[in-house]
Structure formats: structure tokens, C-alpha cells
Amino acid sequence: MIPRLLEKHVVSDLVKDSQAIIVLGARQVGKTTLVKDIRQQISDEKTRVLYLDCDIDEQRNVINTTSIAVLGQLLKDVDLLFIDEAQHLTDPGRTVKVIHDHLPDVRVLVTGSSSLDLQNKMSDAMTGRTFEFRLFPLSFNEVLADQEISTQSNPLLEKQAADALLPSILTYGLYPAVYTEGDPIRKQRLLVELTKKYLFKDVLTYRGVQNSQAIQDLARALAYQIGSEVNENELAKRLGIDAKTVASYIDILEKAFVLVRLPAYSNPNNLRREIGGKYKVFFVDLGIRNALIGDFNPANIRNDMGELWENFLLIERMKTYANKNQQLVHYNFWRSYDGAEVDYVEKPYDKPLSAYEFKYGNGGLKRGAYSFTNAYQTKVNLVNQDNYLDFLRGDGH
């Protein structure tokens, strides 16, 4: 197992706090492995643990109740309760609420592969009673740390290792089973199967999806335009559905951890000069994106390297914050009406505004960087193949 950086934060809250812990993430990103590792880490002779996998009928039926009598009997000798894939429960929010309110000595960790159902089912009942974490596929920082090369002892070796890993990751992404598979053909087969059997499993069973082919076609269309502003009307015409359905399906794909939206940044004082209400889309995993468009060509012969690079940097930056349990961050891009643009703008709640331009090849900052600096007195940082590791770690910014 490649150690997950999020684990220490989950363990800390699970052990010290009275809140129920929710870990959300797409199927196959490693939630079950994480839970089992946490179980092994914190279990001892005095700690009694119950693990239930709600993908399994018999185990789901054991916990699928809101009866205090039944739950009290089930958990009378339990200190830690792990409920895996809790979205399959009829009413997970009320179940966990009963445990939280009436069995306070039982600590609860819940996982779910779809925020579509789990958050909807838990939000009302569990308001103020939960801490939520998001588990992404493996991060570049995690797989690089697994190479056992210390930044402090030899930064040059670490950079060489990172550069060696990069082409495969830009092509096949970082789902754990895909990353650890050494055969490129098997990587491709795994990604195709992952996309068909797991990725859309939660999406296509969601009640808001009435046209399964349309949402898959939409995902494929969006995969071709990562890094570009989304035109919902144009997509609707191309796919033969209405714009409201496009907007709804994009929201579903985001909640199912297929993609993320990057909205435009604007300041109320500059609304006449900046676009607002626009957004771009990026894929949570580049392997899934490349599987959707059927392109697993090596990085050095692709014509979409700029888009892959931008997607890679943005998502890895989000993983960095998630893995540090820093969730209060606003992510944006910026563009003015006269065409000046900055690739990425972020605002953590406890830090000043910062801005970045991404370059895979040679070249310096574009004019948009200077326009942004003039408007916000904020320097735009260039992120390229020379310094991307600093950006992914959050060093110096």
C-alpha cells in the first residue's frame, strides 16, 4: 500500500473528536484500503472494532436500521464502527445520528463513493455532527514519496524521479490499481473497465439521470475541451438535449467525482471588465479522461500536452490541500472582457490571493499576467517543468 497523506488527519479526528467522520471519494480510489489501514493502526487489545461493508447484503442488513434497540444491541461491545459504502443504506443519516446521539461511546467512520446520495441522505440529519474528508486517487506527492527519495537529502534525485514518473501519469492517471500495474496494455484495459463498471455506476443509477447515453456523451465531449470555457448551449445543440439538462448532468458528474468545475474569478469592483458566471472543467483523473477519448498515446507525441499539463497541475494542487485537510480554498481562473487571462487563481481562507500561469513548454508570462497584477497588485507565478514540484507541494506560495 502506498501511504495516504490524508490518513493522519482522519485518525486524529476519529480518535480525538466526537463528530462522525465521513470519507468521500470515487470508487476504486482506495477508501476501503484506507479504512482497513486505519483500523489496523488504531486497534489494540482494548479497542473493539466493527467493520461493515454495505456492498455486501448480509453486512448491510445488519446496520440498515434506525432502531435504537437494534443498534444498541449490535454495538454494545463496540468502540469503533466503520461503515463502508454507506450510500447503500436506506437512511444513513438517521442511522448515524441515532448512534451519535444515543451511543456516544461509539466512534463512527463512514465512507461513500457517491456524494450524490450520501450527502443528500446525511446532510439534514447530521448537521453539525460530522467532519468530512475527500479522498482523491493517489497524488503525485504520495507516489513520489513512495520512491523513498528525500527532498532534503538529494533534491536533484527527487526531480529526476518525478520527471521519470510524469509521462506515465499524464497518460494513465493515478487510480491505485492503474498506477501499480506495470504493463501499459493492462493499464489501458483497467481504465476502460473502471470507466464502464465503476465510474458511471453511481452516475447512471442517480434519479436525475434520465438519458444514460447523453451523460456519457457529455463526459466525452467535456474530455475533449479540458481547460476551455464551457458553453452549455453549444453542448446542448451538439448532443441533442436542452441546456438545463447539460448543466444538471455536469453537476452530477462533479458530485460523482468525475470532474471539477473551475469558475471565473471576479471582483465586484471590476465586474465591467471581467467575465463572471463562466467556468472551465477539468477531470479528477487524467487516465479516465484519456480513456473517454480513447487516446493513450505517449506524452511526447500528443497534441494536447498543454491541456494535460494544466489539468494535472490544477488537480494535484487540489489534492495537496485536501491531503493537508485544508478545505477552505477558493479555486478560479481569471479572464477580462478584452481577452487577458490567468490560468489559475486561488484564495485559501488564511492566506492572500495568489495567481499562476501554467506552461508545459518554453515561454514566459503572457500579457494577461500583467493585466491581473495591475488589477489586483498580485504577482502571477509561472509554473513549468522546472519548478512544478514546488507548486504541487505548496512550497513558497
Q: How does pLDDT run across 174-186, given as a tens digit for each residue?
A: 999 999 999 999 9
Helix/strand number for the chain, H first, E second: 18, 11
Report whether pLDDT(152) > 60.
Answer: no
Report whether pLDDT(164) > 90.
Answer: yes
Sequence-ordered alpha helix ranges (H) in the chain: 7-16, 31-42, 57-63, 68-74, 92-102, 115-123, 140-145, 155-172, 176-180, 184-193, 200-205, 212-223, 232-239, 243-255, 286-293, 305-323, 367-376, 388-393
Q: Which 8-state DSSP code applies to residue 196? A: I
Regarding whether 220 and 363 lie in a shared domain, the answer is yes
pTM above 0.85, yes or no: yes
pLDDT for 329 equals 93
Strand-pair partners of 342: 334
Of 11-20, 269-278, 347-356, the one with minimum mean pLDDT is 269-278
Burial classification of residue 339, based on how many CB atoms lie within 10 Å of its CB (0-12 exposed, 13-18 middle, 19 or more buried): exposed
- Of 134, 168, 191, the last residue of a domain is 134
Regarding whether 274 and 147 lie in a shared domain, the answer is yes
Q: Rounded distance, CA 322 to CA 320, Å? A: 6
- Looking up residue 113, the CATH number of its domain turns out to be 3.40.50.300
Stretch 49-66: mean pLDDT, rounded? 94
Report whether pLDDT(308) > 50.
Answer: yes
Q: How many domains does the chain have?
A: 2
Report whether pLDDT(302) > 60.
Answer: yes
Regarding whether 157 and 55 lie in a shared domain, the answer is no
Stretch 114-124: mean pLDDT, rounded? 61
- Of 134, 150, 173, the last residue of a domain is 134
Regarding whether 249 and 207 lie in a shared domain, the answer is yes
Between 137 and 327, name the one with better pLDDT: 137
Say if CB 136 and CB 284 are below 8 A apart. yes
Report whether pLDDT(120) > 80.
Answer: no
The amino acid present at 121, given as its one-letter code, is K
Stretch 342-368: mean pLDDT, rounded? 91
* 23 Cβ contact list (under 8 Å, min separation 6): 10, 31, 34, 35, 109, 110, 111, 112, 132, 133, 134, 135
Residue 2 DSSP SS3: coil
344 lies in which domain range? 141-393
Regarding whether 245 and 365 lie in a shared domain, the answer is yes
Q: Rounded distance, CA 375 to CA 284, Å? A: 31
Grid cell locating 21: 467522520
**Does the residue 1 lie in any domain?**
no
**Does the residue 186 lie in any domain?**
yes
Say if CB 225 and CB 252 are below 8 A apart. no
Please state, for a pLDDT cut of 70, what percent of the chain lies above it.
89
Strand-pair partners of 383: 358
**Does the residue 2 lie in any domain?**
no
**Does the residue 48 lie in any domain?**
yes
Strand-pair partners of 51: 82
